[in-house]
Amino acid sequence: MINIAIDGPSGAGKSTVAKEIAKRLNITYLDTGAMYRAFGLKALNMGIDPNDVDGVLSFLYKTVLEIKYEGGVQHVYLDGEDVSTAIREHKVSKAASDISKIKQVRETLVKEQQRIAGSNDVVLDGRDITTKVLPNSKNKFFLTASSDVRAKRRYDELISKGQTVDYETVLKDVIDRDYNDSHRAESPLTRTEDSVYIDSSDMTIEEVVQTIISNLK
CA 171 – CA 173 distance, rounded (Å) = 5
- Specify the residue, 30 or 209, whose C-beta has the smaller distance to ligand DC: 30
- Specify the residue, 31 or 212, whose C-beta has the smaller distance to ligand DC: 31
Strand order in the sheet with 65-70: 65-70, 73-78, 81-82
CB of 32 vs ligand DC, minimal distance in Å: 4
CB of 164 vs ligand DC, minimal distance in Å: 20
CB of 169 vs ligand DC, minimal distance in Å: 16
Residue 49 CA: distances (Å) to CA of 43, 52, 85, 88, 124: 6, 5, 21, 18, 28
CB of 10 vs ligand DC, minimal distance in Å: 4
- Specify the residue, 32 or 84, whose C-beta has the smaller distance to ligand DC: 32
- Specify the residue, 99 or 212, whose C-beta has the smaller distance to ligand DC: 99
Work out the angle between the directed axes of helices 32-46 and 53-60 (0-180°, nearest 10). Answer: 110
Binding site for ligand DC (CB under 6 A): 10, 32-33, 36-37, 93, 96-97, 100, 126-129, 177, 181
Contacts of 27 (CB under 8 A, 6+ apart): 2, 4, 21, 120, 121, 122, 123
